[in-house]
Amino acid sequence: MSKLQVSIVKCKSYQPEELAEKIKESLRLIGGIEKFIRPGAKVLVKPNLLMAASPAAAITTHPEFVRQVLRLLKGINCKIYLGDGPSVFGSQMENIVKVYEETGIRKIAEEEAVELVTFDKRYMPASPAGGEGYFPLAQFVKDCDYILNIPKFKTHEYMILTGAVKNLFGLIPGTFKLECHKNFHQPERFAGMLLDVYAAVKPALSIVDGITGMEGNGPATSGTKRDIGLIVAGSNPVAIDTVLAAIMNARPENIYTIKEALKRNLPGASLNDVDILGESLKNAVVRGFKLPEMSLPRAILNNLPPFAANLLKKWLTFVPKIDTDICQLCDACVNNCPQKTMSNKNGKIMIDYSECISCFCCREVCPYAAIGIKKSFLARLLGK
């Protein structure tokens, strides 16, 4: 079986001229855009627009990166739809508009005369054999000929990495994402659900914005911006994420989506499956890259024999903790808690820990980085 191709290209900035050249190079190395997308086709372009954040925060795909991808599609006369399903409560239009405005995506859509869409219509794809169950997808996935995936290279406290596979989660509209967090709250099951989304969506191409990314406790305001200086592209999201894991100096098999992909024998889940073009992996690895603080204890547990891991699992706990000095009582955490365990009482956010599933949706959507992590003794010990 031929190896899956993934390109790595160095790019220092979001200056339009350099960016246009480097994105083209990343695609040329793997065969060019027309190898993956037919000229004149209908294409849904899906960036990472997690929340209403400035592009400078490195939480979302940079708008200039999106612009250059749009121009490549316009160059082959595609009908383009641009959109995402951000982590905002429900499908409230005013919230989604705010995300599009703050991230700079609305301006890019207007300047490039591209249709900016919201995922207010949905359909139910067939559940894959052995999959985690049913979930709705945005109707545009069904109506468009191709999905072009533009992830941001970031860490993710729950999944360790958010890259090409995880970015597709935004194609689940509205509050259904909260239902998925509730129904698949164990990391392994959530990763399996993400792979089911990938299997249903089948993106034609993924181009990762790794020029500035995020390390530490990503993917949102608790993470730390990091200059990475890379563009990574390919047609297989699992293969891309395997390469991203290696770039951030993590063992790919410790990334939950890759671990689950290995169990399913999916291509791309091992570096042996991948032909890396452009920059060598050795030259692309980011030295001293910081993983989420929850990742090391979980990795240690995952590499123990099953009987030992199951014995210790109940003692390895992480739960959210509100920093009342920082909290602005905006209720983003309350509105986005899948279990409804959070409430605003007497001017203070309260958490019912007996019902908390430690999905950290609250931490992901907090615009003020006001939610910390409370760790069990074993979690603190293994974290050292």
Q: Which of 284, 308, 323 is where one domain is finished?
A: 284
CA distance 211 to 234: 16
| CA terminus-to-terminus distance, the chain | 42
Q: What is the CATH number of the domain that holds 357?
A: 3.30.70.20
CA distance 139 to 178: 19
Q: Is residue 343 part of a domain?
A: yes
Residues 6+ apart with CB under 8 A from 72: 23, 24, 27, 33
Residue 293's identity, in one-letter code, is E
Instruction: Please tell me whether residue 149 adopts helix, strand or coil conformation.
Output: strand
299 shares a domain with 204: no
301 shares a domain with 362: yes
335 shares a domain with 187: no
Q: Is residue 289 part of a domain?
A: no
- CA torsion angle 114 166 379 317 (round to 10): 100
301 shares a domain with 271: no
Where b means 16+ CB within 10 Å and e means fewer, 200-224 reads bbebbbbbbbbbbbbbbbbbbbbbe
- CA torsion angle 240 119 218 336 (round to 10): -150
132 shares a domain with 47: yes
How confident is residue 175, by pLDDT bands cut at 50, 70 and 90? Answer: confident
How confident is residue 129, by pLDDT bands cut at 50, 70 and 90? Answer: low
- Dump pLDDT digits (tens) for 258-314: 999 999 999 999 999 999 999 999 999 999 999 999 998 988 887 888 888 888 888
CA distance 374 to 23: 41
222 shares a domain with 96: yes
Q: Is residue 314 part of a domain?
A: yes
Check pLDDT > 50 for residue 42.
yes
Residues 6+ apart with CB under 8 A from 243: 6, 8, 232, 234, 271, 274, 276, 281
CA distance 63 to 99: 12
Q: Which of 236, 251, 284 is where one domain is finished?
A: 284
Q: Is residue 33 part of a domain?
A: yes
249 shares a domain with 198: yes
Structure pTM? 0.96
Q: Which of 253, 284, 315 is where one domain is finished?
A: 284
Asked if residues 262 and 253 have their Cβ atoms less than 8 Å apart, the reply is yes
Q: What is the CATH number of the domain that holds 117?
A: 3.40.50.11440
How confident is residue 91, by pLDDT bands cut at 50, 70 and 90? Answer: very low
Q: Is residue 290 part of a domain?
A: no
Mean pLDDT of all residues in 122-128: 83
363 shares a domain with 272: no
Please state, for a pLDDT cut of 70, what percent of the chain lies above it: 97
- Dump pLDDT digits (tens) for 319-334: 999 999 999 999 999 9
Query: Across all residues in the chain, what is the average pLDDT?
Result: 94
Give the pLDDT of residue 90. 46
260 shares a domain with 318: no
356 shares a domain with 274: no
User: How many independent structural domains does the chain possess?
Assistant: 2
Q: Is residue 42 part of a domain?
A: yes
223 shares a domain with 347: no
Nearest to 230 by CA among 168, 161, 280: 280
**Residue range(s) defining the domain that contains residue 334:** 295-383
244 shares a domain with 358: no
CA distance 139 to 142: 5
CA distance 65 to 238: 22
